């Protein structure tokens, strides 16, 4: 990896790593002929930084590496190379709260090669920018308003949802539908009418004090894992299983989980007001516990902002 130097470079809007070199995020450019762009031939992951420390970086790197293997990418960087690179991006940016993305993508075969992905080189891109909220803090405070989208989730027999990917056509259609219906965000069902997830977040429901979340055709989110861990710590029954939409619609509480926001209560679903139109008591308890533990250093990996590259 090419060494990074802060010098007189303006890193204030974020830092990027592209194919071995560091640069301000505004200078990172991809070739429009690469298959990463033209075919969405990409896997990615996103980890958050809060109070100057990564959260569950080991879990994110393990998921990223599993996705890389599943999509048959062969980047030159090892997991430790990627760890050092992510630390360097945050150090260069100076950000204490950051959204840090890592991508692995394919280029394209050279003209003399067979036009097949086996001949397309794999490479990494990454960036650190100011922390991104999946939903703005004021929406989280009052609880998100969501809909059940008419567009179904891409079936996992076509694309394994455990591989974080850029195939968002179903998610994008659902987001436009939510916008048209005056909601903040959508939730997608599978072809059998079970709840899956939303664009960038997992979904949980609570009925009679019992927590449930989908067990298939969903990303195994790191924030989803954190919510499951918190339920165990707080003595709340929690199951990963099929959640039929009929059960979901009648739930006492609903919440989403995302790297870009943590635990996000939902207070309306298809116009139905949950509870008193404020975040439910269990959802709020989990949200408060999540952020309290983050501030205490839960699964934290501190960043040395003075370290040389």
pLDDT in tens, 202-254: 999 999 999 999 999 999 999 999 999 999 999 999 999 999 999 999 999 99
pLDDT for residue 64:
98
Domain match, 189 and 258 both: yes
Domain match, 249 and 287 both: yes
Q: Which residues sit opposite 45 in a β-bridge?
A: 102
Domain match, 32 and 158 both: no
Between 194 and 12, the higher pLDDT residue: 194
Domain match, 281 and 200 both: yes
Residue 166: pLDDT above 60? yes
Residue 1: pLDDT above 70? no
pLDDT for residue 6:
54
Region at 37 (left for phi over 0; alpha for psi -120 to 50; beta for the rest) = alpha
Identify whether 19 is part of a domain.
Answer: yes
Last residue in a domain, options 111, 131, 151: 131
Residue span of the structural domain in which 226 resides: 137-295
Residue 308: pLDDT above 60? no
Last residue in a domain, options 73, 106, 131: 131
* SS3 label, residue 231: helix
Residue 286: pLDDT above 80? yes
Domain match, 244 and 154 both: yes
* SS3 label, residue 293: helix
pLDDT for residue 268:
98
- Angle ∠(71,123,54) on CA atoms, nearest 5: 85
Domain match, 125 and 172 both: no
Domain match, 141 and 261 both: yes
Domain match, 248 and 157 both: yes
Question: Residues near 80 by Cβ (< 8 Å), separated by ≥ 6?
Answer: none
Q: Report yes or no: 175 and 135 within 8 Å, Cβ to Cβ.
A: no
Domain match, 205 and 113 both: no
pLDDT for residue 8:
76
* SS3 label, residue 70: helix
Residue 309: pLDDT above 70? no
**What are the pLDDT digits (tens) for 145-163?**
999 999 999 999 999 999 9
Number of domains the chain contains: 2
Helices 57-70 and 79-93 sit at what angle, rounded to 10 degrees? Answer: 130
Identify whether 300 is part of a domain.
Answer: no
pTM, 2 dp = 0.94
Q: Read off the pLDDT band of 11 (50, 70, 90).
A: very high
* CATH code of the domain in which 227 resides: 3.20.10.10
CA–CA gap between residue 302 and residue 286 (Å, rounded): 24
Identify whether 86 is part of a domain.
Answer: yes
- Over residues 284-301, mean pLDDT: 98
Domain match, 92 and 143 both: no
25, 49, 186, 255, 266 from 248: Cα distances, Å: 41, 32, 14, 11, 12
CA–CA gap between residue 169 and residue 153 (Å, rounded): 9
Which DSSP category does 4 fall into? P
Identify whether 302 is part of a domain.
Answer: no
Domain match, 122 and 155 both: no
Q: Read off the pLDDT band of 7 (50, 70, 90).
A: low
**What are the pLDDT digits (tens) for 53-69?**
999 999 999 999 999 99
Residue 263: pLDDT above 90? yes
Q: Report yes or no: 56 and 166 within 8 Å, Cβ to Cβ.
A: no
Which DSSP category does 239 fall into? E
Domain match, 115 and 146 both: no
Residue 3: pLDDT above 90? no
Q: Report yes or no: 106 and 36 within 8 Å, Cβ to Cβ.
A: yes
Looking at every residue in the chain, the average pLDDT score rounds to 96
Identify whether 121 is part of a domain.
Answer: yes
* SS3 label, residue 35: helix
* CATH code of the domain in which 62 resides: 3.30.470.10
Identify whether 309 is part of a domain.
Answer: no
pLDDT for residue 31:
95
CA–CA gap between residue 125 and residue 175 (Å, rounded): 26
Q: Read off the pLDDT band of 5 (50, 70, 90).
A: low
Last residue in a domain, options 66, 101, 131: 131
Residue 111: pLDDT above 80? yes
- Over residues 292-308, mean pLDDT: 93
Identify whether 227 is part of a domain.
Answer: yes
Identify whether 89 is part of a domain.
Answer: yes
Q: Report yes or no: 86 and 98 within 8 Å, Cβ to Cβ.
A: no
pLDDT for residue 307:
66
């Amino acid at each position: 990896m090419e060494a990074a130097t802060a010098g007189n470079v303006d890193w204030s809007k974020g830092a990027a790593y592209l194919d071995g070199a560091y640069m301000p995020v505004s200078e990172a450019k991809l070739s429009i002929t690469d298959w990463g762009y033209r075919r969405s031939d990409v896997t990615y992951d996103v980890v958050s930084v809060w109070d100057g420390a990564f959260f569950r970086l080991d879990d994110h790197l393990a998921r990223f590496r599993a996705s890389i293997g599943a999509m048959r990418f062969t980047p030159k960087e090892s997991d430790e190379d990627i760890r050092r690179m992510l630390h360097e991006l945050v150090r260069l940016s100076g950000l204490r709260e950051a959204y840090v993305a890592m991508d692995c993508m394919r280029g394209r075969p050279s003209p003399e090669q067979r036009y097949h992905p086996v001949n397309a080189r794999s490479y990494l891109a990454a960036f650190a920018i100011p922390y991104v909220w999946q939903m703005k803090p004021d929406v989280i405070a009052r609880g998100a308003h969501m809909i059940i989208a008419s567009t179904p989730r891409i079936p996992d027999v076509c694309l394994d949802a455990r591989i974080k990917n850029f195939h968002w056509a179903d998610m994008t259609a659902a987001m436009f539908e939510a916008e048209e219906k005056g909601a903040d965000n959508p939730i997608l069902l599978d072809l059998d009418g079970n709840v899956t997830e939303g664009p960038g977040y997992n979904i949980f429901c609570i009925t009679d004090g019992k927590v449930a979340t989908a067990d298939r055709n969903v990303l195994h989110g790191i924030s989803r894992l954190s919510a499951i861990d918190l339920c165990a710590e707080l003595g709340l029954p929690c199951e990963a299983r099929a959640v039929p939409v009929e059960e979901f619609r009648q739930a006492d509480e609903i919440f989403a989980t995302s790297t870009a926001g943590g635990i996000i209560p939902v207070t309306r679903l298809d116009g139905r007001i949950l509870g008193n139109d404020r975040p439910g008591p269990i959802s709020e308890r989990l949200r408060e516990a999540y952020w309290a533990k983050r501030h205490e250093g839960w699964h934290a990996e501190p960043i040395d902002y003075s370290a040389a590259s």
